[in-house]
Amino acid sequence: MDVVAEATDGREAVKYCRHSRPDLVVMEVHMPEVDSLETIRAIKRESPGTVVLVLSVYEDSDVLADTLKAGASGYIPKTATPQQIIDAIRRTLEGAYALDPRLTTEAFLSLVAREQKENPSPLAPKGLSGVEHASGPVPASLTQREVEVLRLVARGHTNRQIALNLFLSMSAVKKHVHHILSKLEVSDRTQAAVRANELGLLADREDE
């Protein structure tokens, strides 16, 4: 791992991301000049491929939910060991989430509640008819394989783990994830996970 830049505030971080396009940004929740949520959103606009990992002294599920909604892929406490931080970096770079398990469930429920409050319209994207799933309507355009991949994405599996679990190649998994985001009209894996929960795709497979 190489450190390509260091920033003293959010504005500077966004500037470096615009020019350096780093694979990963590790940042604090509270920063001067620009708040962390706006910084995350700006980083994702300027460099969509950059993964954001948030470190915080606060173990707050609402703050975690806010950072995920803004576009972060990880949120870990500053009490984490160096090895835990390294593991979190590797997980996020592999396409998974790096989250404190004690806060994850509360944060996920908070995200779902907010999404439903902000978007009370039918869950299926416009123009797509729904087909009934055991727990709710699933967009008809999603194939059975894409539903399987979506379930694993929602549970925080990396592309590599999905490939091993479903006996697929890495390129096939990436293609499925791309199609899922497009069909659900969401921009990232976090939003896809929220949508999967809304569609009831997690409730009947808790043993996986």
**Residue 70, domain CATH:** 3.40.50.2300
pLDDT of res. 207: 43
The two tokens of residue 91 are 């997980």
Tell me which residue range forms the domain holding 130. Answer: 122-198
Task: Identify the pLDDT of residue 26.
Answer: 93
Mean pLDDT calculated for residue range 158-175: 86
Does one domain contain both 87 and 133?
Answer: no
Average pLDDT of the chain is 78
Q: Which of 80, 96, 113 is the last residue of a domain?
A: 113
d(CA 201, CA 20): 38
Q: Hey, which bits of 7-56 come out as E strands?
A: 24-28, 51-56
Going by pLDDT thresholds of 50, 70 and 90, the confidence category of residue 164 is: confident
- Please report where in the chains the tokens 């995200």 appear, as a residue: 111
Please give the pLDDT value at position 122: 43
Please, is 75 exposed, middle or buried when counting C-beta atoms within 10 Å of its C-beta (0-12, 13-18, 19+)? buried
- pLDDT at residue 22, rounded to an integer: 94
| Number of structural domains in the chain | 2
Q: What's the mean pLDDT in 151-167?
A: 84
Question: Which residue's structure tokens are 């355009």?
Answer: 141
How far apart CA 105 and CA 2 sit, in angstroms, is 33
Res 8 pLDDT > 50: yes
Q: Does 136 score more than 60 pLDDT?
A: no
Residue 204 located in a structural domain: no
In angstroms, how far is CA 66 from the centroid of its own chain?
A: 12
Going from the C-alpha of 143 to that of each of 48, 111, 140, 185, the distances in angstroms are: 27, 26, 8, 15
Tens-digit pLDDT profile for residues 60-113: 677 777 888 888 888 888 888 899 889 989 988 887 788 766 666 666 666 666
Confidence of residue 202 (pLDDT cuts 50, 70, 90): low
Contact between 79 and 34 under an 8 Å Cβ cutoff? The reply is: no
Claim to verify: residue 65 and residue 139 sit in the same structural domain: no
**pLDDT tens for each residue of 101-133:** 666 666 666 666 666 566 654 443 333 333 344
